[in-house]
Amino acid sequence: MNAQRAPLGMTLQVPVGNVEAGKRFYTGVFGRGPDFAPHDDFLEWQVLDGVELWWQVVGVAGEVEPLPTRVRFLVEDVEAAARRAQSELGVALSPITTLPGVVAYTNFDDPWGNRLGYYQDIVPSGVQPEPGGSVHDERIFRVDRS
């Protein structure tokens, strides 16, 4: 017997209250329209070429229950992505927060309260210094409030 040891892909389903508005918003996030739309109320974006990683936007009737956790997208330039998100998506962003020598990130919500963000690796993954401490220790982070 050949048992599968690890998943081969992943999907993440994001609820929206209006599919057309969700399509416009996430087209702005991904820079292109959906890659697959199997139903009128269900749209999919393949997040990475050649990888079974799908962002699924599903229209829901009634009150939307947003994702309980935050999802951040890796970008080359977090400041440019933040400016684009503000101007093209019309979202309010958190100040850019930096863990020196590791990562910089900003957070925002989609119109339905799904918690999103962008992050930029300051150095390649796997070669970051190990700062120690706790992710809850605000003293190790730098927040750009400009």
* Residue 73: DSSP 8-state: E
Q: Which domain holds residue 98?
A: 66-146
**Alpha-helix residue ranges (DSSP H) falling in the chain:** 19-30, 78-84
Helix (H), strand (E) at residue 13: strand 10-16
67 CB-near residues (< 8 Å, 6+ apart): 14, 15, 114, 115
Helix (H), strand (E) at residue 62: none
As a whole number, the mean pLDDT across the chain is: 90
User: Do the domain assignments include residue 43?
Assistant: yes
Same domain, 100 and 130: yes
User: Do the domain assignments include residue 134?
Assistant: yes
Same domain, 111 and 137: yes
Using the predicted structure, report yes or no on whether residue 42 has a pLDDT greater than 70. Answer: yes
127 CB-near residues (< 8 Å, 6+ apart): none
Q: Which residues pair with 42 in a beta bridge?
A: 39, 58
User: Do the domain assignments include residue 107?
Assistant: yes
pTM: 0.85
Contact between 125 and 80 under an 8 Å Cβ cutoff? The reply is no
Domain endpoint, select from 43, 65, 87: 65
Using the predicted structure, report yes or no on whether residue 1 has a pLDDT greater than 60. Answer: no
User: Do the domain assignments include residue 93?
Assistant: yes
Tokens of 39: 């139903």
pLDDT grade for 124, boundaries at 50, 70 and 90:
confident
User: Do the domain assignments include residue 1?
Assistant: no
pLDDT grade for 112, boundaries at 50, 70 and 90:
very high
Same domain, 60 and 72: no
Q: Which residue has the higher pLDDT, 99 or 65?
A: 65
Q: Could you read off the pLDDT of 7-40 as tens digits, one per residue?
A: 999 999 999 999 999 999 999 999 999 999 999 9
Domain at 32, CATH number:
3.10.180.10
pLDDT grade for 102, boundaries at 50, 70 and 90:
confident
